[in-house]
Amino acid sequence: MTWLVVYDIEDDRVRTKVADYCLDKGLERIQYSCFLGEMSRTLARELASKCKRKLGDKPGKIRLVPVCEKDLASQVRIENVP
């Protein structure tokens, strides 16, 4: 299943750690605080748990959103890659 992970985290250390968790799960960074990629529900729950623990009581928001294949197939992509 494809997942979109987005976050808004104030603390630099926490934000970096969450990004590292996403990269460790094989997700592709599509913006600074936005990742997309394939994960099972089990792996998504594991990632959410790690992120929640790391965030602790610091201010921030983290969302893991499943994206169905139909919606993914109808996406519009605009990219200028050097």
What pLDDT is stored for residue 73 in this prediction? 92
What pLDDT is stored for residue 11 in this prediction? 96
- The C-alpha torsion from 31 through 34 and 39 to 44, rounded to 10°, is 160
What DSSP designation does 56 have?
A: T
pTM above 0.85, yes or no: yes
Element (H, E) at 18: helix 12-24
What residue ranges define each of the domains in the chain, with the CATH number in brackets? 2-69 (3.30.70.240)
| Averaged pLDDT of the chain | 95
Task: Read off the pLDDT band of 81 (50, 70, 90).
Answer: confident
What pLDDT is stored for residue 82 in this prediction? 80
Per-residue pLDDT of 47-78, as tens digits, reads 999 999 999 999 999 999 999 999 999 999 89
